[in-house]
Amino acid sequence: MQDIECDVLIVGAGTSGSVAAITAHDDGARVLVLEKMPVAGGNCPITGGNILTPTKMEFVDYLETLSFKTTDRDILETFVKAAMDNAEWIRKMGGEVVVFNPLQVTHPGLEAGPGFPQVKHSECMVKYNVKGTEDEGPPGQRLWNLLKTNLEQRSIEIMTNTDVKEIVKNHKGEVCGVVAEPRGKRVSMKSKKAVILACGGYENDPATKWDFYPAKPIHSLGSPGSTGDGIRLGQKAGAALWHMTNMASTIGFKAPEYEAAFSICFFSEDFIYVDRYGKRYIDEIGVEVHEFGREMSYFDTRRIEYPRIPTWAIFGEQARRRGPLNTGTVGYNRTLYTWSPDNSAEIAKGWIIQAKTIAELANKISVEEVNLENTIKKYNESCKLGKDPEFGRAKENLMAIEGPLYYAIPIWPVLYCTQGGPRRDKDARVLDPDGEPIPRLYEAGELGSITGGLYQGGNSLAECIVFGQIAGRNAAAEKSLD
């Protein structure tokens, strides 16, 4: 294979890489997208598809509070201003949007509004999905279908099975291309204007997760391609890192037969979470869905263990019959396995443990019998009183756990996405440790995200759209090296 040349070279063919490619192409650049997986899309087709769209500039204050001021305000201002036009950008691409309508499940964080309504200006937002029919798939798939159509209409080339190994600089220190291995053969690829890193996070890089996240182990819902390549490429090019400990995590079940985890939720309130000693530790419905990893990462320094990993979800007959514990709308397993409507198939597989009594259930899951019996007895008494004195679970969310059969499933912290990576500025330029831009190197999306603390649902796709455009526009505007 001969060496390859283009104007703008993009590493990663997910949401942000696709938006960057479309934008740079429309601004007159010759674009090439490199994707290490066999197919393009990244996490886009398997996300919830929620696109955060601020309604007022005051939303900057909300995001600044959530980031603990680790993200420069001018970056947040740039993001909010641009994200207010997210719906219009979707329409420009030929799509339509609808306001996100959450599933009626008793799962925290699925509300259409902000994840942290107690924070000032949290109300200045809405979440959109790309409009479509059920036959077109869930919202994440519909967004990818729209992006894919636009890529194809522009004849933008995507080289799959192409692993990028190194960012190349010229004698002036300017980024001028990459070294990649399409189908295992080493090739130099020249970019006459810029390189954009848009290759996602490190959800499936065990070593990096172990180093930067307190919950151990933590599984992933997403693409196996998210192995932190952009972090290593950025470091080799001289980039500073930021937000490495920030991740959006929920609860999930890890079946040994599948590489990724299944997200777990309930269609009925007759359930609780207990640690490995059979004790409740949380208001199960009061935790923001993207922050479960923080709650489960408690470390017991006396026992030298994480007593909440795994956590056991204990539930009754109504929760078992009301609907599937995995809805099949999010995650890498979405197209690989369909959860049974009443969870009977998963009981037969042994994924869900079934017992005739609480004592029998405790023995089957190796939890102290007396503790689990007392925990459920106390919880059921709270349901009768209509008040949860221990953890403050709302009255309307209290429902006794009753037989004739009882159930348990082990749940783990599982990742939607990570936010760490090379630091960027408001122009999507990658920065070195002194805060100076690395010439002709840009970044967009989950890699090096602007999220610096608590994660607001819908922010990831919104950021992919916003900084994909910014990176694509600025890369295309660079003066050619020739």
Q: Is 32 exposed, middle or buried (0-12, 13-18, 19+ CB in 10 A)?
A: buried
Tens-place pLDDT, residues 192-243: 999 999 999 999 999 999 999 888 999 999 999 999 999 999 999 999 999 9
CB 480 within 8 A of CB 7: yes
Segment 12-28 mean pLDDT = 98
Per-residue pLDDT at 383 exceeds 50:
yes
What pLDDT does 411 receive?
Answer: 97
110 compared with 64, residue with greater pLDDT: 64
What pLDDT does 215 receive?
Answer: 87
Tens-place pLDDT, residues 334-370: 999 999 999 999 999 999 999 999 999 999 999 999 9
| Domain chopping of the chain, boundaries | 4-245+419-477, 248-415
Per-residue pLDDT at 102 exceeds 80:
no
Confidence of residue 183 (pLDDT cuts 50, 70, 90): confident
Q: Does domain 4-245+419-477 have CATH number 1.10.1060.10?
A: no
Per-residue pLDDT at 110 exceeds 60:
no
What pLDDT does 184 receive?
Answer: 82
What pLDDT does 101 receive?
Answer: 77
CB 369 within 8 A of CB 359: yes
Counting residues of the chain whose pLDDT is more than 70, the rounded percentage is 98
Per-residue pLDDT at 103 exceeds 70:
no
Segment 168-183 mean pLDDT = 96
Distance of CA 333 to the CA centre of its chain: 14
Segment 430-450 mean pLDDT = 98
Mean pLDDT of the chain: 95
- The CA-atom distances, in angstroms, between 470 and each of 42, 134, 191, 238 are 20, 32, 18, 22
Confidence of residue 109 (pLDDT cuts 50, 70, 90): very low
What pLDDT does 108 receive?
Answer: 45
Per-residue pLDDT at 14 exceeds 50:
yes
Q: List Cβ neighbours of 348 (8 Å cut-off, separation of 6 or more).
A: none
What pLDDT does 113 receive?
Answer: 79
Per-residue pLDDT at 438 exceeds 60:
yes
Tens-place pLDDT, residues 264-312: 999 999 999 999 999 999 999 988 888 899 999 999 999 999 999 999 9
What pLDDT does 1 receive?
Answer: 45
The whole-model pTM stands at: 0.95
Cα separation of 109 and 289, whole Å? Answer: 4
What pLDDT does 2 receive?
Answer: 55
Q: Does domain 248-415 have CATH number 3.40.50.10090?
A: no
